[in-house]
Chain A
Amino acid sequence: MPIGDGRLEAVDLPREGLHSALLFANEQSPAGASYQGVADRLLADGWWNPKRIFVTSPTVGDGKTCTAFNLAWALTTRGASVLLAELNFERPRFSRVLGGLQIRFGIDSAIRRLANPADSVFSIRNKLLSFSAVKNAMRMGEVKQHLPHLASYLNWGGNNFDWLILDCPPVLSFAWNHWFRACARPALLVVREQRTPAVQVRQATSRLGAGLKGVLLNDVVDEGISDRTSDAD
């Protein structure tokens, strides 16, 4: 029987507690502009039905979490309510990048049916942007056991938010299990320039298959090439 009152929790998190990289989309910076452009392209295409974006990458360290945060910020600037949920149950990072935020219930509590989905959601100043972080890391066996309950959680999110941005584990990791292969679509693949191996990008695109809708190149040093590509669209 789930515990909790089922109300959204608003956390008054000081701005200094957030990692600075998560807030680019809210700033007047080249990175912020780029995220806004990506958000425009996402909204222009009609891929997203339901309006979920499974953000993933070939390996760890490519910038999934940062991309997911900034995309969510960018979408909220257009007046859409966004739920940013952490699906990397084995290596959760939301709590750390949010400045060691202590939460009462996490998304893991919700899929374990220990709490209502609404109890795992909190917001930080921006009421359009809600978060659902993993409170306690789960072992692989536990994840496999409880992941089937994630579908109902996502349905609940789809009913209560305009967009669901889902920060997923890497495609080429063991955490990308059968559930992700079957349900994680449409997906956005984040590739980090000068770091992500090309062969792994090929493997990731192959593994994602038709579920992969878009690719984002992260941490680009040569802005000329990036601008050329961006301007081409």
Chain B
Amino acid sequence: MRIILLFGRLIALPLRHRLIAAGTVVAVIAGYLLWASHLPPQEYTSSALLFFDRTAAPKPDPGIVHNDQTQAMELAKSILSDDRFNAICQHFGLYPDSNGGEAARFRSNLTLFGESTSSLRVTWRGTDRSQTVAVTNTVAVLLTSWVPGASHQDSELGLTKLAPTPTPITSTAAMEQKRPVAASLTKPSPAKARLAKVLNAEMELRVLLAAADKGLAALGDEAHRLEASIAQANAERQASITARQPLTEQLATEKKKLDLLRVRYTDAYPDVETAQERITETQQRLAAMPDVRPAPDAEHARLIALTKEMNRLGAEKVRLSGELSKNVKLETALRNQEVDVPATRPEQASTEPQREQGKPRLSDPVAPLALAASGSQTVDSTDGEQVRAFKILERAANAQPTNNPRRLLPLLVAVAGPLAGVLYLLSAVWWFHTVRNAKTLERILPENVAYLGAIPAMDTWRHSI
């Protein structure tokens, strides 16, 4: 009942007070807009996650102490030189009012953070949402394009081709084109997690394969050495046997002849004595010859064991190679799956064949970085023959607005404006709680004031005089 009464009083409020309430709402919103126009521009941050391969990174200087996480950061900092920052700034048209200080300003907006021993997060802060994403991806691609031992190959990174076309991505179409990808990549997808697992497994397999290779090589060397030794020993033994064979045969013949003589003659018989002397002489000659070396049985056994171990390692290597091949295929499939997300859009589907035919991947040796950065959603890190220290695990897909009062104020104003209007109306209702009858009037009046009477209402004078 009271609500109905209150509503009735609200309706009965004079028009000027309702206009004042509406004006209050408008004034609050206008004040906010005026204030917001003087705020610093809204900033956005975007980040990309890179996989860091320590085995592919150059060895740190012995004099510098690195922990596992700073190694990736230090390497990234060494890769990202001022020249490259200047090229990026020139390409995207960043900081046009900075006279030579573009690189410093760019560096101040760039954050490198080693999240783990094998990952590096690249974060960049800018004032344009889509441009921030593009710049972040460009920095990520710069890092992934770096090859150990070729750190000064700027031409490979395509930096020289950046300058002439300052075309920052600010169009609505570009933003619309990126939005689905951004939505899909905002949260780490299962495919990405799986890709990370596959990459880790791939690295482990490579390490195991390398260890198997190394073991095989060592075993092969030892087996080769053993075989050579056995062969040499056999040759020497055979030579000795060959050298002793005539005397041995002669001795056997003489012993046979002596036996025949002893059947017919006694030992005192001269022919028997002569035969015995010849036998003794032959035996002396045999004794004078070098002994025959025994056969190298231990080496043979070792060689057999080595052969077995090599066979086992060979089988293991075949298995590892098979698994590695599977992982590489799986990684390719996952990356294709990730890249194919924007390709499902019809307008982008038309550009996809063009990219496959004409547009090289950023990992290609002469890939223009500008194209790669602008179309960073479809850019992949290199996975060719060269070993790369960084790989992109998660591209920058969306730029989040930084903590700016502009974010909360619209909500605040949306609440505060109408609230101010309602409060004004309520206060007006209270203020305009009118004299309802003579009884209420008499309650209000001081005692020394006389109530002179009431004049009945007449429609003829209502709201006229």
Chain A positions within 8 Å of B, measured between CB atoms, are 19-22, 24, 29-31, 34-35, 37-38, 41-42, 45, 61, 63, 65-67, 70, 93, 97, 188-189, 191-199, 201-202, 205, 210, 212-223, 225-226, 228-230, 233
A201-B445, A219-B455 are known; give 5 further A-B pairs, CB within 8 A: A63-B455, A194-B435, A201-B435, A215-B450, A220-B455
Which residues on the B side are within 8 Å of A63 (C-beta)? 455, 461, 465
Flag if B455 contacts A216 (CB, 8 Å).
yes
Flag if A19 contacts B453 (CB, 8 Å).
no
A229 vs B446: C-alpha distance in the bound complex, in angstroms? 16
Flag if B465 contacts A196 (CB, 8 Å).
no
Which residues on the B side are within 8 Å of A35 (C-beta)? 455
A185 vs B432: C-alpha distance in the bound complex, in angstroms? 27
B67 adjacent to chain A (CB < 8 Å): no
Which residues on the B side are within 8 Å of A205 (C-beta)? 444-446, 449
> Could you give, for residues 250-263 of chain B, a 1 whenever the CB lies within 8 Å of some chain A CB and a 0 otherwise?
00000000000000
A198 to chain B, nearest CB (A): 5
Flag if B453 contacts A191 (CB, 8 Å).
no
Contacts A196-B434, A198-B435 hold; do A226 and B453 have CB atoms under 8 A apart?
Answer: yes
A179 to chain B, nearest CB (A): 22
B460 adjacent to chain A (CB < 8 Å): yes
Flag if A214 contacts B452 (CB, 8 Å).
yes
The total of chain B residues at the interface (CB under 8 A) is: 33
B111 to chain A, nearest CB (A): 60
A19 vs B465: C-alpha distance in the bound complex, in angstroms? 9
B450 to chain A, nearest CB (A): 5
A201 vs B434: C-alpha distance in the bound complex, in angstroms? 9
Flag if A216 contacts B453 (CB, 8 Å).
yes
Flag if B434 contacts A215 (CB, 8 Å).
no
A-B contact pairs, 29 of them (CB 8 A): A19-B461, A19-B464, A21-B458, A21-B460, A21-B465, A31-B455, A31-B456, A41-B450, A41-B453, A63-B455, A93-B465, A188-B452, A191-B435, A193-B434, A193-B441, A197-B432, A198-B434, A199-B430, A201-B441, A213-B449, A217-B441, A217-B453, A219-B461, A220-B437, A221-B456, A221-B457, A226-B453, A228-B438, A233-B453
Contacts A201-B435, A219-B462 hold; do A42 and B452 have CB atoms under 8 A apart?
Answer: yes
Which residues on the A side are within 8 Å of B449 (C-beta)? 189, 205, 212-215
Closest to B445 in A: A215
A58 vs B304: C-alpha distance in the bound complex, in angstroms? 121
> Could you give, for residues 421-449 of chain B, a 1 whenever the CB lies within 8 Å of some chain A CB and a 0 otherwise?
00000000011111111111110111011
- Total residue contacts A-B, CB cutoff 8 A: 148
Which residues on the A side are within 8 Å of B448 (C-beta)? 210
Which residues on the A side are within 8 Å of B464 (C-beta)? 19, 21
Which residues on the B side are within 8 Å of A66 (C-beta)? 461, 465
A55 vs B450: C-alpha distance in the bound complex, in angstroms? 14
Flag if B445 contacts A217 (CB, 8 Å).
no
A37 vs B432: C-alpha distance in the bound complex, in angstroms? 29
Contacts A193-B437, A202-B444, A215-B445 hold; do A65 and B465 have CB atoms under 8 A apart?
Answer: yes
B261 to chain A, nearest CB (A): 164
B59 adjacent to chain A (CB < 8 Å): no
B411 adjacent to chain A (CB < 8 Å): no
Going nearest first, the 9 A-B pairs with the smallest beta carbon separation are: A226-B454, A21-B461, A220-B454, A217-B454, A214-B452, A229-B438, A66-B465, A197-B432, A219-B457
Which residues on the A side are within 8 Å of B440 (C-beta)? 198
B264 adjacent to chain A (CB < 8 Å): no
Which residues on the B side are within 8 Å of A19 (C-beta)? 461, 464-465
Which residues on the B side are within 8 Å of A223 (C-beta)? 454, 456
Which residues on the A side are within 8 Å of B456 (C-beta)? 30-31, 34, 219-221, 223, 226
Which residues on the A side are within 8 Å of B458 (C-beta)? 21, 24, 29, 31, 219
A192 vs B440: C-alpha distance in the bound complex, in angstroms? 12
Q: Which of B445, B446, B461, B462 has the largest count of A CB atoms less than 10 A from its CB? A: B461
Which residues on the B side are within 8 Å of A197 (C-beta)? 431-435
> Could you give, for residues 394-434 of chain B, a 1 whenever the CB lies within 8 Å of some chain A CB and a 0 otherwise?
00000000000000000000000000000000000011111
A37 to chain B, nearest CB (A): 5
Return the contact of B441 from the options A30, A210, A215 (Cβ within 8 A): A215
B2 adjacent to chain A (CB < 8 Å): no
B187 adjacent to chain A (CB < 8 Å): no
Which residues on the B side are within 8 Å of A31 (C-beta)? 455-456, 458
Return the contact of A214 from the options B430, B438, B442, B451 (Cβ within 8 A): B451
Flag if A214 contacts B450 (CB, 8 Å).
yes
A146 to chain B, nearest CB (A): 26
Closest to B437 in A: A225
Which residues on the A side are within 8 Å of B457 (C-beta)? 193, 219-221
A200 to chain B, nearest CB (A): 8
Flag if B435 contacts A229 (CB, 8 Å).
no
A161 to chain B, nearest CB (A): 21
Which residues on the A side are within 8 Å of B434 (C-beta)? 193-198
Which residues on the B side are within 8 Å of A210 (C-beta)? 448
Which residues on the A side are within 8 Å of B38 (C-beta)? none
> Could you give, for residues 287-303 of chain B, a 1 whenever the CB lies within 8 Å of some chain A CB and a 0 otherwise?
00000000000000000
Which residues on the B side are within 8 Å of A22 (C-beta)? 465
